Amino acid sequence: MLMKIIRTSGLIVWILICVILSFSYVSGRKGVGIGWDKESVYVDEGSTFCMRYNIYNPWDESVNVTLSLSGEVGDIVSDIESDVIELPAYTWYNISKKVEICFKIPPNIYEKDCVLPGLLCQQKCEGDEKVFSGEVLVMEAPYIGEGMGSSVALGAAAPLRLAVRCVPFGRDWTFLYFLITLGSGCVIGFILYRRRREPKLVREEKKLKKLQDEIKRLKSKEKK
């Protein structure tokens, strides 16, 4: 009975070992790594910024990779674009491939002082600089012909600290000047239009009245 229990226990242990090795192989298949030369960067508010990372794959299967962002950085930026490259098997670090990722810093990181919502704004940059933290993730991208499958994280990541510089600017009155000019033009155009629309008889009566007023003015002048 004891030997039977031992044999059963040994079989269970071997099954567990096989399962663990199986999972290790699946994970190892995507043993992609990432190298970087900077963790902190300064970017201007409202600008587009690009970074390059070294990606390597020392394992025995090729994989398509791309980059993505996570954390606070991933939450605030927009228009994230990254290269998609095929990373062959046995691509060691010394022959790693460069992958670029670009993203846009939104123009509303800092509060602006506006006369009207979104109009005639200025930015003085008197507060503290804002810093956001996150990671650059290596993602597995679908191969061409596999459809639009979603990317899967491969476990490799690089830290990223994004310090956003506030860019000061004054109010731009150009739009207001344009509105004033446009409004003045519309008023003048309306007056000319009304004049041209008056009946001919009315226009002649106005001319006659002006002439009569002028004659009266001259006569009064002669009497003096």
* Tokens encoding 62: 């090729």
Structural domain ending residue among the three candidates 142, 165, 188: 165
Structural domain ending residue among the three candidates 165, 183, 198: 165
- If asked whether residues 89 and 132 sit together in one domain, one would say yes
34 — pLDDT class (breaks 50, 70, 90): very high
Mean pLDDT (whole number) for 9-29: 40
| pLDDT tens per residue, range 171-221 | 877 767 777 888 887 888 777 776 666 566 666 777 777 777 777 777 776
Cβ partners under 8 Å of residue 31, min gap 6: 57, 58, 59
**Cα gap 51→73, rounded to integer Å:** 13
- If asked whether residues 144 and 179 sit together in one domain, one would say no
User: Quick one: pLDDT at residue 178?
Assistant: 76
Count of domains in the chain?
Answer: 2
125 — pLDDT class (breaks 50, 70, 90): confident
| pLDDT tens per residue, range 139-150 | 888 765 544 445
Residue 8 lies in a domain: no
8 Å CB contact between 160 and 134: yes
User: Tell me, what CATH number does 112's domain have?
Assistant: 2.60.40.10
Q: Which structural domain, as residue segments, surrounds residue 208?
A: 174-223
User: Quick one: pLDDT at residue 73?
Assistant: 93
If residue 20 lies in a helix (H) or strand (E), which one and from where to where?
Answer: helix 2-29
Residue 102 lies in a domain: yes
What values do phi and psi take at 64, rounded to 5? -85, 130
